[in-house]
């Protein structure tokens, strides 16, 4: 062995051994529980959520509507209807393409809640990894990620924006160019019929000056948003319910000159069952 160096497989085996010993020690001493199902974690170093919870997520599998991500009943309907669901055909909106990793229910709902309401920020990279693998083609040739913003008051209360936490791990530049100018009522507290009105004009575009994003005028898209013009942007949020929030954000980005706006969320409340 030249220079007393250990072969790489010996180093890897040793670090695996150390890691599993440390995992065992942590599991014994701290007895940490899964942030989603509260089962004891056998490998706490692997993350705050247990393997079982990640496996229990009900994924959204193709064929799905290319605009909103809702599952479509068959490949035949997908081909006949140009890959869109009846709802998107009736009201196409401002999003060019969209998708979600899984259904907002069961394990995924608990995982999102743990991130958002229990402040388990360490879940964000794992959720982002799930989105990268499930929505690969939506992220592939995009220029930047735009996280859906929280209102300043809610941001202060929560301490972080879950959409931004996820966005940071999607391996693309993040442009936090939107801001929420009205502290809207949470969409899940409203009937579907009132959700569009609730978020109408709730968002504004920030201006860039000297490389820093600043707030634009109230409700007005900024004339000088050079970093958005002509770009392919991906709006990112944790959950999409009716899609009203994403549509309103997309409308602002298009007003700011974005060439294409896509939307990717970790979870989606699927409205039309195939």
The residues of the shown chain that bind Zn ion, judged by CB under 5 A, are 34, 36-37, 50, 53, 65, 67-68, 70, 85, 88
Decide whether 70 or 96 has the Cβ nearer to Zn ion: 70
Cβ distance 60 to 81 under 8 Å?
Answer: no
For the bound state, the minimum distance from the C-beta of residue 49 to Zn ion, rounded and expressed in Å, comes to 6
Quote the distance between the C-alpha of residue 113 and its chain's center.
13
For the bound state, the minimum distance from the C-beta of residue 181 to Zn ion, rounded and expressed in Å, comes to 28
Decide whether 56 or 200 has the Cβ nearer to Zn ion: 56
> In 3D, which of 199, 249, 201, 197 has the Cα closest to residue 228?
249
Decide whether 108 or 177 has the Cβ nearer to Zn ion: 108
For the bound state, the minimum distance from the C-beta of residue 36 to Zn ion, rounded and expressed in Å, comes to 5
Decide whether 65 or 150 has the Cβ nearer to Zn ion: 65
For the bound state, the minimum distance from the C-beta of residue 134 to Zn ion, rounded and expressed in Å, comes to 17
> In 3D, which of 110, 117, 105, 144 has the Cα closest to residue 228?
144
Decide whether 10 or 31 has the Cβ nearer to Zn ion: 31
For the bound state, the minimum distance from the C-beta of residue 228 to Zn ion, rounded and expressed in Å, comes to 25
Decide whether 49 or 202 has the Cβ nearer to Zn ion: 49
For the bound state, the minimum distance from the C-beta of residue 127 to Zn ion, rounded and expressed in Å, comes to 14
């Amino acid at each position: 062995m030249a220079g007393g160096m250990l072969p790489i497989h010996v180093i890897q085996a040793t670090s695996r051994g150390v890691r599993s010993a440390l995992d065992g020690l942590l599991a014994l001493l701290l007895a940490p529980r899964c942030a989603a199902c509260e089962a004891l974690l056998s490998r706490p170093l692997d993350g705050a959520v247990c393997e079982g919870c990640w496996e229990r997520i009900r994924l959204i599998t193709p064929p799905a509507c290319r605009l909103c991500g809702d599952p479509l009943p068959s490949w035949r309907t997908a081909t006949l209807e140009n890959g869109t669901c009846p709802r998107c055909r009736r009201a196409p909106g401002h999003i060019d393409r969209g998708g979600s990793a899984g259904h907002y229910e069961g394990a995924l709902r608990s995982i999102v809640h743990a991130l958002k309401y229990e402040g388990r920020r360490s879940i964000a990279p794992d959720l982002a990894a799930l989105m990268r693998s499930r929505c690969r083609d939506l992220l592939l040739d995009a220029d930047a990620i735009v996280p859906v913003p929280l209102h300043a008051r809610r941001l202060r209360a929560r301490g972080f924006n879950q959409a931004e936490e996820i966005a940071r791990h999607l391996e693309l530049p993040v442009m936090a160019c939107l801001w929420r100018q009205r502290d809207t009522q949470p969409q899940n507290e409203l009937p579907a019929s009132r959700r569009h009105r609730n978020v109408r004009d709730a968002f504004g575009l920030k201006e860039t000056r000297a490389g820093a994003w600043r707030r634009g005028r109230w409700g007005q898209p900024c004339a000088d948003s050079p970093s958005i013009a002509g770009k392919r942007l991906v709006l990112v949020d944790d959950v999409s319910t009716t899609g009203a929030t994403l549509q309103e954000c997309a409308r602002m980005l298009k007003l700011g000159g974005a060439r294409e706006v896509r939307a990717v969320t970790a979870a989606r409340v699927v409205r039309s069952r195939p």
